[in-house]
A and B are shown apart, each in its own frame.
Chain A
Amino acid sequence: DVKVTQSSRYLVKRTGEKVFLECVQDMDHENMFWYRQDPGLGLRLIYFSYDVKMKEKGDIPEGYSVSREKKERFSLILESASTNQTSMYLCASSESGYTKNIQYFGAGTRLSVL
């Protein structure tokens, strides 16, 4: 089974802090994704990466950056956390090839910014 692990289930940070959300997948997938999920808004794509050191902006990249130095790890960075970034953050991965559009998700990190 594919396993996507997010480093924290719950995080509480203060406004202005730099926040790192880590995600690791164990299936050698090329593609990795970060989404945020808010009530009534569904899942919105923040960034994705299709290879090491490669990244593309999703629908809502403002206020976020990402890092992918190794294939299995994809980090989401909030340079200066703000209260409107309080949300559930979901990481996902997918492989290349004919199943490339099937994503496997982690359990999520619920971030509260105070």
Chain B
Amino acid sequence: LAKTTQPISMDSYEGQEVNITCSHNNIATNDYITWYQQFPSQGPRFIIQGYKTKVTNEVASLFIPADRKSSTLSLPRVSLSDTAVYYCLVGSMDTGRRALTFGSGTRLQVQP
């Protein structure tokens, strides 16, 4: 199974760019990397997903190096409302490989 490791917590200020890295040394060929955001008393919410290289959407970018053993979630110009816990999920629902492993999460605190 792909084990994931994330920093426990990070602090930032409004307007800064935040980069959160997830290590997944034994990622498998079929595995995707997916990031979620979770606020207190809510379920996680999908942010972004990638397989390799770089993916960007309206809220974040995801950088995945060629060896895919890590990934970095980049949040541009964070605001107070980005204070949350961020999880990376490595795995796949493809037949024969249904392992899904969440990281322990990174608690991001954004200060004014």
Chain A contacts to B: CB under 8 angstroms? 4, 31, 33, 35, 40-45, 48, 50, 56, 58-59, 90, 92, 94, 96, 100-108
B102: contacting residue among A4, A31, A43, A108, CB under 8 A:
A43
- 11 A-B contacts (beta carbon < 8 Å): A41-B104, A48-B98, A59-B1, A90-B44, A96-B93, A101-B93, A102-B34, A102-B46, A103-B34, A103-B36, A105-B36
Residues of chain A with a CB closer than 8 A to B42's CB: 107-108
Beta-carbon contact of B43 and A108 below 8 Å: yes
Beta-carbon contact of A107 and B91 below 8 Å: no
Interface size, B (range): 20 to 34
Closest 5 CB pairs of A and B: A105-B43, A42-B104, A43-B102, A101-B32, A100-B93
A105: contacting residue among B1, B45, B98, B100, CB under 8 A:
B45
Beta-carbon contact of B44 and A56 below 8 Å: no
Beta-carbon contact of B49 and A101 below 8 Å: yes
Residues of chain A with a CB closer than 8 A to B105's CB: 42
